[in-house]
Amino acid sequence: MSKRNNCLMEEQVSSRRHEWQIALTASAPVMLGYIVLGLGYGLYTHSLGFSWWVPTLMALTIYGGSVEFVIANMLTQAFNPLTVLVITLVVGFRQFFYSIAMLGKYKGHGFQKFFQIFSLTDETFVVNYQLRLGDDVDHQRVYTMVAALDYFYWVFGTWLGGTLGSILAIQIKGLDFAMTALFLVLALDQILKEKSHVSSVSGLVITVVCLMLVGSTYFLLGTLLLLVVEFTILYRRRTMK
């Protein structure tokens, strides 16, 4: 019995190690982007006059990327809860549609389920959505590992930026482009792997049209609503076939 138990434990350890390797490899591009951007965010909040621990606390609790940049700037002004709520909803509204797309993949239980929901950022969505996993690994565990690694990258980068900013009085501008560049790279990788480019091309066309019609303030909301309608129609056609 002891030998059998030892064999089972070794198999479990080997399986977990393999799952971590998959998660590390898949999240490597996000690591580079998040640490650089988190560093910039930490330096940015330092330039606004905040202590080193403030961006780290915001990264741990908000974990919203662009939302954190907006809120950090708004904290330096007269506080208006309604404005903060509306801006947060508009900027982060796209996450609602990401969550719908992940309903078929995210089926964790307990704490794992809530962490998958909390940690669904743009980049984590792209990585986990395009992951193709075999039957030899626990899919939910790999998804959670990827999300946990991405979360760690962002918090670590933010802490590093806030700490270096406080110790060395460093201020660097222009690093906020990294999030956009990272998402574009991941999106391009997804486009190259897809069999049909109908969704990608239509998404680009709808985005440009909405930007021209309603302007930069509300184009994201309009684009996402139209994409939901489009994807619903496409999904129904596929299921009917």
Domain boundaries, the chain: 2-193, 195-241
Is 70 exceeded by the pLDDT of residue 173?
no
| Cα–Cα distance measured from residue 28 to residue 174, given in angstroms and rounded to the nearest whole number | 23
Answering whether pTM is above 0.75, one says no
Is 70 exceeded by the pLDDT of residue 8?
no
Is 80 exceeded by the pLDDT of residue 130?
yes
pLDDT in tens, 75-121: 877 776 766 776 677 667 778 778 888 888 898 888 899 999 999 99
What's the pLDDT at 127?
A: 92
What's the pLDDT at 160?
A: 93
Q: What is the DSSP letter of 137?
A: S
Amino acid at 90: V
DSSP per-residue codes, 82-112: HHHHHHHHHHHTHHHHHHHHTTTT----THH
Is 60 exceeded by the pLDDT of residue 50?
yes
Average pLDDT over residues 19-44: 90
Token pair listed for 29: 């591009």
